[in-house]
Amino acid sequence: MTTSAASLPAALRPRQVRNWFGVAPFFIFALLFLILPTFNIVVGAFRNTDGHTTLENIGKLFSPSIRGAFWISIELSLLTAVLGCVIGFLIAAAISLGDLPRPLRNGILTFSGVASNFAGVPLAFAFIATLGRLGFVTMLLRNWFGINLYGSGFNIVSFLGLALTYLYFQIPLMVLIITPALDGLRREWREAAESLGASGFQYWRLVALPVLWPSLLGTLALLFANAFGAVATAIALTGSSLSIAPIVLFAQIRGDVLNDPHLGYAIAFAMIVLTGIANGIYILLRMRAERWVK
């Protein structure tokens, strides 16, 4: 007696099996490079060097030095997230709602896609070569305009310098995320508002911004998580001169003096919690924004 393919359970049909094989590399990659490492960090945060369960590592997170590093990281992430949202929103509004040439829009979106993923050592080197003590822009301002950036207190290896560097990928990321939301604003909404006598300011305050508000807040949370988790750029640019959470984590895991891997696991665990909350807020607000567009 033979069994037809239609009578087999859906999970056992040949086509379904092939589909599961197709997505298997994704699940294997996520398991090896995301789930298992995260599980190892969580377990290590609650273990001591002898392998016993303890809360000592979590308690050390509230020491003045580590608490101060987290606070600086939060300030840096909030600053670059807010500035990235404001500047990126203005750029996205110009290319989406303004009467700009279509090729300019495509060029800006293409550049944003590249710049939003340009980070780490190459980005740090680019800013040192541009705004370092002997950088191109630094020397240009000094020789042509008599402006001494470093004489006025600016330093690329500082909080402000790192914030400027982060904005290089924060602004393009905002442009990429908010442009589809701006494209979702229907022309009929503005025409209806204008037919009722609303000004441009009233349209944005009463119609457009309430619709865009979930997307704006969600993107703000995403940019915060993006900046808070940036490690390679901060280490390559500032080294150990600026005490932020990723650099303190690196010192605990790989440092020769401050070498406490389990404290490093605890710091990483705290960073995972904070970035997870920010990403969770982004996902919830993004779902709400998509319902508005529909």
Model pLDDT, residue 68: 92
Angstrom distance (rounded) from CA 269 to CA 286: 25
Angstrom distance (rounded) from CA 128 to CA 124: 6
Angle 64-97/209-228 helices, nearest 10 degrees?
140
Give the Cβ contact number of residue 230 at 10 Å. 24
Convert the pLDDT of each residue in 151-179 to its tens digit.
888 889 889 999 999 999 999 999 999 99
How far does the chain reach from its first CA to its final CA, in angstroms? 50
- The pTM (predicted TM-score) of the whole model is 0.84
Confidence category of residue 140, pLDDT binned at 50, 70, 90: very high
Model pLDDT, residue 220: 92
Give the pLDDT mean for 179-196: 84
Give the Cβ contact number of residue 246 at 10 Å. 20
**Average model confidence (pLDDT) for the chain?**
85
Give the pLDDT mean for 166-193: 89
Bigger pLDDT: 129 or 294?
Answer: 129
Whether the pLDDT of residue 208 is over 70: the answer is: yes
Whether the pLDDT of residue 224 is over 90: the answer is: yes
Angstrom distance (rounded) from CA 177 to CA 59: 38
- Residue 98 phi, psi (nearest 5): -85, 165
Q: Is 132 helix (H, G, I), strand (E, B) or coil?
A: coil
Give the Cβ contact number of residue 56 at 10 Å. 13
Give the Cβ contact number of residue 240 at 10 Å. 12
Asked whether the beta carbons of 146 and 57 are under 8 A apart, the reply is no
Angstrom distance (rounded) from CA 16 to CA 23: 11
Whether the pLDDT of residue 229 is over 70: the answer is: yes
Confidence category of residue 1, pLDDT binned at 50, 70, 90: very low
Give percent of the chain above pLDDT 70: 91
Convert the pLDDT of each residue in 39-50 to its tens digit.
998 998 898 877
Q: Which residue type does 218 have?
A: G
Model pLDDT, residue 9: 57
List the one residue out of 37, 36, 32, 60 whose CA is nearest residue 48. Answer: 60
Q: Partners of 47 in the beta sheet? A: 53
Model pLDDT, residue 153: 84
Angstrom distance (rounded) from CA 288 to CA 199: 27
Model pLDDT, residue 291: 67
Give the pLDDT mean for 228-234: 86
Convert the pLDDT of each residue in 101-126 to its tens digit.
888 889 999 999 999 988 888 899 99
Give the pLDDT mean for 72-76: 94
Q: What is the DSSP letter of 3?
A: -
Angstrom distance (rounded) from CA 131 to CA 162: 11
Bigger pLDDT: 16 or 100?
Answer: 100
Cα 123 to Cα 115, 156, 274, 285, distances in angstroms: 10, 13, 25, 30
Confidence category of residue 294, pLDDT binned at 50, 70, 90: low
Residue with tokens 């209806």: 192
Bigger pLDDT: 6 or 84?
Answer: 84
Bigger pLDDT: 83 or 251?
Answer: 83
Confidence category of residue 13, pLDDT binned at 50, 70, 90: low
Q: Is 47 helix (H, G, I), strand (E, B) or coil?
A: strand
For the ranges 21-25, 121-125, 165-169, 282-286, the maximum mean pLDDT occurs at 165-169
CA dihedral 280, 286, 289, 290 (to 10 degrees): -130
Asked whether the beta carbons of 82 and 227 are under 8 A apart, the reply is no
Model pLDDT, residue 255: 59
Give the pLDDT mean for 54-79: 91
HSE on the CB side for 16, CA within 13 Å?
8
Model pLDDT, residue 7: 53
